[in-house]
Amino acid sequence: MAMKTNKTIFAIAAIRFFTAALLTNGVAFAAEDQLKETRQDQSTAQQEDKAKALKRQQDLENLRREVEINRLQQDLDKIKQQHPDFSPAQHPEAAEIQRQLDQLRVDQQLQRLKNEQQLNRIQMERDPLRQRQQIDDLQRRQRIESLQDQIRRNQTEQDLNRLRHQQNIRPPQNLRPHR
């Protein structure tokens, strides 16, 4: 009987041990699943924050471009006001500068729409790794586009400065000597 009792005690102990082991493994698996879910939620939140930061960055860049274009337009308008005899036929440079400014505005609006559309697509992406890659790609493209846009604005400003310089050198139309 003692042998049977020992076997029974041993069997009960083994069952309890395996039960505890299974429960511990179950808890461990549940904890691991919870950890994975928490990490994914954190990653998703980080990507959403990154997308929002990118949107703010886009808005600031668009505002900066708009202010610069408006400043150039004001400079051109000031030159036109200072020279009432100023006409596009007499000064094709001014017409070209106006065309450049108009093109800058159109390009900026188009780029803003493309960036917003791309950002909306990125925000719909459910895979955090893919979303992060898309955000990084969009940021790189935006930096390149910003530099290209800055080059065009600088060229327009140089053209405007050249026009301003020509206006300061040329005598008014009614004072020019007749040939």
In a domain, 57, yes or no: yes
In a domain, 35, yes or no: no
The single-letter code of the amino acid at 73 is Q
Task: Give the span between the Cα atoms of 53 and 124, in whole angstroms.
Answer: 16
Domain of residue 143: give its range.
45-170
In a domain, 29, yes or no: no
In a domain, 136, yes or no: yes
pLDDT tens digits, the chain, 179 residues: what are they? 556 677 777 777 777 777 776 666 666 666 677 767 777 777 777 778 888 888 898 889 999 999 999 999 999 888 888 877 766 666 788 889 999 999 999 999 999 999 999 999 998 988 888 998 999 999 999 999 999 999 999 999 999 998 888 877 554 444 444 44
State residue 176's pLDDT score: 43
Q: Secondary structure of 30-89 in the HEC alphabet? A: HHHHHHHHHHHHHHHHHHHHHHHHHHHHHHHHHHHHHHHHHHHHHHHHHHHHHCCCCCCC
Task: Give the span between the Cα atoms of 159 and 51, in whole angstroms.
Answer: 37
The pTM for the full model equals: 0.65
Number of domains within the chain: 1
